[in-house]
Chains A and B, each alone.
Chain A
Amino acid sequence: MHSNAGLPPGILGHHFSSLARQNEAMRLGMWLFLATEVLLFAGLFTGYTVYRFQFPEAFAECSRHLELTLGTVNTLVLITSSLTVALAIHYARTDQPRAAAICLVITLLFALSFLGIKAVEYAEHFHERSLPGKYYAYEAVKIPGAAMFFSVYFLMTGLHGLHVIAGMSVLSWILRRTLQGRYSSQYYTGLELGGLYWHLVDLIWIFLYPLLYLI
């Protein structure tokens, strides 16, 4: 059992009998929150499934007109950012805070590139008018259901993008804490929880990629 001595102040809540118990609570709390995020996206996955089932041709055709290369690069970017955030936690718990901070910075850079690539894709959609619902005016695909594909596409990638931004805020926050020396082999749960959130962002994209780009 860890002793509670030597912890930076303010880490152990007064109502927890031990750090181990508090860590357990924090992890459980974060996983419960991740469960809610999974169910949030579930609604959109349901909409996707329903409309793909009803407009299979349109969905397949529109999917072929997405930038597969950019989508694939983005997938690799997110997967690698998951690695770097896992490494950040590894370095923190082995008392190498500088390496941890560097890994977090790299993760943030990957996150930024993800958003950048997504912005390029969105710009292309705006340019060629492959837009949701009433704004759809894409010359290349003119079958029923095409507009619906892009409604679903923008909703799913848009919500995912918002979560990337949220994840970046979380990562920045834990980067700041890492630079302040808060995490060590004794306590790194906050860093771990931030990492968990980032992994979820990656998890969602792991499903979005084949479902949107590879129909």
Chain B
Amino acid sequence: MSESGPSGRPTQALHPDDRDDQHAHSAVPYFAVWIALLFFTALTYMTGKQHLGTWALAIALTIACTKSALVALIFMHLKDSSGTTRLVFVTSLVFVALLLFFTVSDVATRFRPATPAGAPFGTERSQPEGLLEHELPE
């Protein structure tokens, strides 16, 4: 990011919003994105009602991420924004993932009695798999 002079970056590097061609700006992409968002909402509604078990969450999140990408890139102009701005947004998502990962990994790999009261399962059994010695048939 070296400077070319006191007045700032050269024109080509300017955000499209800062260039002198405002009057050519079109609203069509916004409507297109809106239609797409309506479609994806309908899709998630329908797939959600199917109660697809283990896949449900993955599908729902994929659709949500797609919708978010559309909003972020087009409505919020992330597509046209500087690399720094995009880096800021992506970094925040990375750190959300980080927080989620280690917290969920804790709960997912924890010793069973340490899970909250009423939780129907923990992943690590406090007893060995199968029957205990005194339960074996004679």
Do A's and B's CB atoms come within 8 Å in the complex?
yes
A: which residues have CB within 8 A of B? 1-2, 17-21, 23-24, 27-28, 31-32, 34-36, 38-39, 42-43, 45-46, 49-50, 53-57, 60, 68, 72, 75-76, 79-80, 82-83, 86-87, 90, 93-95, 144-145, 185, 188-189, 192, 195-196, 199, 202-203, 206-207, 209-211, 213-215
**Cα–Cα distance between A35 and B48 once the two chains are bound (Å):** 29
CA distance A18 to B117 in the complex (A): 61
A208 (CB) vs chain B CBs: closest residue = B64
Give 10 nearest A-B pairs by CB, closest first: A144-B118, A214-B48, A35-B92, A185-B22, A210-B60, A42-B96, A54-B119, A83-B34, A20-B18, A38-B92
In the complex, what's the smallest C-beta–C-beta distance from A147 to chain B, in angstroms? 10
**CB-nearest residue of chain B to A37:** B92
Q: Could you show 10 A-B contacts with beta carbons less than 8 Å apart?
A: A17-B6, A20-B18, A39-B99, A49-B104, A56-B120, A57-B120, A79-B37, A95-B23, A214-B45, A214-B48
Cβ-defined contact, A49 with B20, below 8 A: no
Would you give the 0/1 interface string for B81-111, flagging 1 where the beta carbon is closer than 8 Å to chain A?
Answer: 1101100110111011001100110011000
Known: A83-B33, A206-B64. 14 other contacts (CB 8 A): A1-B8, A17-B8, A23-B15, A24-B82, A34-B89, A38-B96, A49-B100, A50-B107, A56-B120, A79-B38, A79-B41, A195-B75, A207-B68, A214-B49
| Majority-rule SS of A interface residues | helix
Number of interface residues of B (CB under 8 A): 61
For chain B residues 28-45, which have a beta carbon within 8 Å of chain A?
Answer: 30-31, 33-34, 37-38, 41, 44-45
- How far apart are A103's CB and chain B's nearest CB, in angstroms? 10
A36 CA to B96 CA, complexed, in Å = 11
Of all chain B residues, which has the CB nearest A41?
B96
With CB as the reference atom, state the residue of chain A lying closest to B88. A31
Residues in chain A near residue B51, CB distance under 8 A:
60
Give B104 Cβ to nearest chain A Cβ, in Å: 6
Q: Could you tell me which residues of chain B, from 46 to 98, have a CB within 8 Å of some CB in chain A?
A: 48-49, 51, 56, 60-61, 63-64, 67-68, 71-72, 75-77, 81-82, 84-85, 88-89, 91-93, 95-96
Separation of A83 and B100 alpha carbons in the complex (Å): 31
